[in-house]
Amino acid sequence: MNVYESYVEKIIWGYKASDKSVLGAVTDISIGYIKKFLQCNVCPFCGRVYKNRRSLRFHLIHNSVCRDLYKSSIKYAVDVYVMLRRYIVRLSTPKRNGVALDLPSRARIKFRNKQELAEWIRSHKDEIISLFPMV
């Protein structure tokens, strides 16, 4: 697992409660539904209910079908993040460090900081997911 994948894992298991990062926003819009299952100790892929998170984690490590789906979901969130990052431009002036998003479908959108960009991502879920659909 790379550093992005382990960050995504922390988010979907709820270890990062108030995440305002771009990767956090991308995780929520791409595989946010998984988070809800994990928090209820339900496997998002086969629907089995577990007594606790420990036994659910054990299942996601040892059941080969669910493990593969779990891993590919995490990989998908990271892929969306890596692809989206290509369209993020740093805007540095002596006074501020803004960012802009240069999506192929839109004119440049400017943000004061990455947190503002993350909020925009959360409110434009369908638009972003349609650019990077799961294959």
Q: Which residues bind Zn ion (CB under 5 A)?
A: 43, 45-46, 66
Of 65 and 107, the one with the shorter C-beta distance to Zn ion is 65
What's the min distance (Å) between Cβ of 61 and Zn ion? 11
Cα separation, 120 vs 54, whole angstroms: 34
Instruction: Give whichever of 4 and 45 is closer to Zn ion, judged by the CB atom.
Output: 45
Q: 109-111 and 97-101: which strand pairing?
A: antiparallel
Chain position carrying tokens 């803004």: 98
Minimum distance of Zn ion from residue 80's CB (angstroms): 23
- Choose among 90, 83, 84, 81: nearest CA to 112: 90
Closest approach of Zn ion to the CB of residue 42, in Å: 9
